Structure 1
């Protein structure tokens, strides 16, 4: 049996959390995408990045590897769900004014194609479908380099004032 290992480093997530409370969502996400604020530890653990952000839209990317596999040799559905949840949630976050936060209320996911390390880089593209004062609805698609849809999700997010 061949053993593989991986080392993961991340920055204190408290730094970004403090900054989030002082900025509009789009500005906060742009700072993370530009590397001026640390990304979440989960992104370092899984190896994904926030590549694009504009109001109502967020794009994450990952290069799948063996470390993402389930026991049957393909990327685990939890990795798909994490990328889709991140893209949908950050699309919503990009529309929020300073002092407003969100949390996912639900995530409905559909897995359409298998992903392996041979798939190459994949992107999760999230967009806001509707945003009100208390909730927002977003969707996200997971795509390969040929723009084939690999998975799809919808998410409802609850909006609330940032706790003091």
Structure 2
């Protein structure tokens, strides 16, 4: 039987235009509070930014069939997106006004499969090291019993954001 899912998202240009105007932490707090729209990928994959503080970001997602690969478990790309988001936003949370970042790489280890029976998963990103041009972050993906499902590290390039 066919299944469907409908979702909406806010204009991504609104958030993009706000990058660099305030600190990264203030930017993320505005997303968390709904003053800026969440990125469309969050609606597409049905995940949310739930917590943010300096050097740390937490995302959650309830896995659904729409996340499945052909073998009946959540696709690795979903894991990667959650972990990349958590690691990247942890880096963003330590940036001063006028700075931005982009992921240079993402190294990921899958430890356990995720299915709809897993329940809500939580991706916790933390900054390990911040330099002038790059930052290193890690992200861990947990189930509701705090079992580690996957682990990632990410290098991010830091750069000045042009005034808009």
2:94 corresponds in structure 1 to 95
Q: Distance in 2 between matches of 1:140 and 1:103?
A: 16
1:47 corresponds in structure 2 to 46
* CA-based RMSD: 0.6
Work out whether 1:32 is the aligned partner of 2:36.
Answer: no
Q: Distance in 1 between matches of 2:83 and 2:153?
A: 8
1:1-164 pair list within 5 angstroms: 2-164=1-163
Aligned length: 163
Q: Distance in 1 between matches of 2:145 and 2:117?
A: 13
* Structure 2 length-normalised TM: 0.98
Greater shift, 127-136 or 19-28, is seen at: 19-28
Residues 26-77 of structure 1 deviation map (CA, whole Å, 9 limit, x = unaligned): 0000111111110000001000000000000000000000000000100000
Question: Once the 2 structures are TM-superposed, how far is the Cα of residue 163 of structure 1 from its aligned partner?
Answer: 2.6
Q: Distance in 2 between matches of 1:86 and 1:97?
A: 19
* Structure 1 length-normalised TM: 0.98
Question: Once the 2 structures are TM-superposed, how far is the Cα of residue 21 of structure 1 from its aligned partner?
Answer: 2.5
Q: Distance in 2 between matches of 1:21 and 1:136?
A: 17
Please give the secondary structure, in 1, of the residue aligned with 2:126.
strand
Please give the secondary structure, in 2, of the residue aligned with 1:70.
coil
Structure 2: gaps (5+ residues): none
Kept in 1, the 8 Å contact 2:19–2:161? The answer is no
